[in-house]
Structure 1
């Protein structure tokens, strides 16, 4: 199996995708929102009340005889076909994408891409590492409870007698009756599936550390499944394939159910099931970069979360003109605006300027930063706001309002992931020096 690797924000001929045509047939010209409904894991997860959510973004969009990849990174698979979308700011191995995931998704530092060249394993690792996130999210609704039919064989008959089983188990008759009863129980097919997934992950070398991030939720599942039997795994998987969670209230458990099936089926390379021919994990590059930058600058800036609809800001009174600046400086006496841009410095222009200037005007900020990934050794570019008009022939640069394109250098020509981490840590220190001036 030779996976096809492409970069985000790239144009490629459709003929280049011949070896992954089963994947492109499903994902081409479909939005994030449509793909999520088809069962592909998408980050950030689609939220209806978010202002600028990238629900209309596409992974691949047709342009005549070419496909244009979007602002998306991740892995997709269908049968033996694999499509890997890497960061355009990486050269060689995509260590940047790996590093962003480690920082933003809080994955334990156990995925080593240089030691694990098999991208199928890289995809599987991501599935496993997403498990605590989806478990915590589902467990907020409490343990899943539903009606199940349980079988008994005793003298306290409380349900429907199972004659065939009774004859098989109770001949000669010694006083017991085989019967079944419909019960509303926490120990059901779904909770058993989650339990099997927990036990599967526990057996991994990193399993204990991974599950420790959701230890309360793991305890909830273990306490809810006293009938857990390791040998029942195959039956539990099949039961869950036939009984997809459909109730809207439990949609978080539907996602968890889908993830658990993919994890438990990985051993037999049967990932994807039913009508879901394509499976995968996709990340909005702009969101991933913004959340990464937040891990660096959270001591200096507030971070309104547009994807989650938190910390809304308004341009005008009466709650008019909803805005979500990426970063608002915490120093009220010297307000600064920050804007994360997952694009090259040359692509930060036009609308980007207008947006940040509006934020600056709203918060009385005289300075703003664009935080972007720098692939070369370019110095910061400072843009001073003009005053005057060409009609009056009096245009001059002001000395009090400035936008700064401030890049974080992405390491290249490294020998492995550990060296990449060392070098990007140095880049982060250099990146923060500019902000420390304003402490």
Structure 2
């Protein structure tokens, strides 16, 4: 049985009573992760904005069951649940896939030959592999000890008496020993290599591995350290990968990569292991939207990346509690106009969102601030909220502009891509006119 829902929507009573929905209701992401679910951005980086203990996939609110900002898919036994973006039309989920690629890769263009509109099933998992590989490789190439037999002029470990008598009599100076040595060509790296080769072989995916210098370098390192790779061994490597255990916590960032690579190669649902109850991928749509907007406007704005504590700012001077703040984006240069992304429709922008922006404007001495949200249609909308009070003129009066980006409802990927490029160009042109007074 498959259930299809949208984010931030009430769950119909006839669905809320079903087994799968009842089992995951009011379970936080920490609990779901322990049962085998992979969540983003947690798999990429720590995320104070998405607390695993405080975030829920489906929860009760005012006596009714609701979905939240978390989207994705998961399964349990024979039941499957898919939660899509409420802004996406029908079943195509173009905007979800598009934001994933922009958030993880930042350089989608029609010239890349990467048609993510045609990606279905586990091919979507391939989109995560470059980012997870880069994250894992921050710890360096994975290596482990392997048992090995030696027969040379050095003592590498304990002498194998039986083998010594068999191969080194009469004695010519060689020793038959059993020892341990580090190796990089492990089952783990072989699994990653096979996933990378499978991506290279797919005309719709191969450009995932060419997007920047970092991923190209890491792919080259994996290739260089897996000299025993053979395509004919793929099924054997996949089977052996299910027994992989990381005994060194230093390499824990390889775990999400292993799971994604295995699921991609198998072409099945994401699984953690034979004891898993749940499996799947969940994505914080609010995080995804923020990263997407950051990719669109990165040329002229600095993205603070609050989820990793980068570019943090403070409100107060000479205080123990300095009032830590993270405006999503600040305009580059001396004129620092704060911009925030809100995964909301116009009617969802609340007073606290505007008050937060006012604090940013005060901190950066700007009379202008921008909230970027979803328009709720395929057409962009904008509205300006002026601040009450006595000012010299309207130009000096602080104001918060709320800009809703449109999302194409096209049924064909090529048209959707053209529409979104127009929307993004329109947004960048709109922001380019902002200055502070």
* TM-score normalized with structure 1 length: 0.81
Distance 1:151 1:256, change over 3 A: farther
Aligned to 1:342: 343
Distance 1:139 1:270, change over 3 A: closer
Aligned to 1:383: 385
* Alignment partners' CA distance in 1, 2:3 and 2:356: 37
User: How many Å apart are 1:286 and its aligned residue?
Assistant: 1.3
Aligned to 2:398: 401
Aligned to 2:41: 44
Within the candidate set 128, 132, 135, 1:134 is matched to: 132
Aligned to 2:80: 82
* Alignment partners' CA distance in 2, 1:87 and 1:330: 31
* Alignment partners' CA distance in 2, 1:18 and 1:272: 27
Distance 1:143 1:429, change over 3 A: closer
User: How many Å apart are 1:398 and its aligned residue?
Assistant: 9.4
CA contact (8 A) 1:8 1:88 kept: yes
- Counterpart secondary structure, 1:430: helix
Aligned to 2:171: none
| Structure 1 spans left out of the alignment, 5+ residues | 117-121, 171-175, 389-395
Aligned to 2:220: 219
CA contact (8 A) 1:75 1:280 kept: yes
* Alignment partners' CA distance in 2, 1:112 and 1:185: 37
* Alignment partners' CA distance in 2, 1:71 and 1:347: 13
What does 1:283-298 align with in structure 2 at a 5 Å threshold?
A: 283-298=283-298
CA contact (8 A) 1:193 1:260 kept: yes
Within the candidate set 198, 201, 214, 1:200 is matched to: 198
* Alignment partners' CA distance in 1, 2:22 and 2:133: 30
What does 1:108-127 align with in structure 2 at a 5 Å threshold?
A: 110-113=114-117, 115=118, 122-127=120-125
Distance 1:194 1:161, change over 3 A: farther
| Structure 2 spans left out of the alignment, 5+ residues | 168-173
What does 1:3-402 align with in structure 2 at a 5 Å threshold?
A: 3-13=2-12, 15-16=14-15, 21-22=19-20, 25=23, 27-45=24-42, 51-55=48-52, 56-63=54-61, 66-92=64-90, 93-106=92-105, 110-113=114-117, 115=118, 122-150=120-148, 181-213=179-211, 214-266=215-267, 271-318=271-318, 320-333=322-335, 335-376=336-377, 379-387=381-389, 400-402=397-399
User: How many Å apart are 1:151 and its aligned residue?
Assistant: 5.9
Distance 1:261 1:154, change over 3 A: farther
User: How many Å apart are 1:59 and its aligned residue?
Assistant: 1.2
CA contact (8 A) 1:31 1:59 kept: yes
CA contact (8 A) 1:373 1:407 kept: yes
CA contact (8 A) 1:407 1:431 kept: no
CA contact (8 A) 2:301 2:329 kept: yes
* TM-score normalized with structure 2 length: 0.82
* Alignment partners' CA distance in 1, 2:62 and 2:401: 38
* Alignment partners' CA distance in 1, 2:44 and 2:261: 23
* Alignment partners' CA distance in 1, 2:25 and 2:36: 15
Q: Does 1:427 align with 2:423?
A: yes
Aligned to 2:170: none
CA contact (8 A) 2:84 2:96 kept: yes
* Alignment partners' CA distance in 2, 1:375 and 1:64: 25
* 1:136-191 per-position Cα deviation (integer Å, ceiling 9, x unaligned): 22122221111122467999996675989x99xx9xxxxx9998643322122222
Distance 1:400 1:96, change over 3 A: same
Q: Does 1:417 align with 2:431?
A: no
- Counterpart secondary structure, 2:434: coil
* Alignment partners' CA distance in 2, 1:231 and 1:152: 28
CA contact (8 A) 1:386 1:397 kept: no
Distance 1:419 1:316, change over 3 A: same
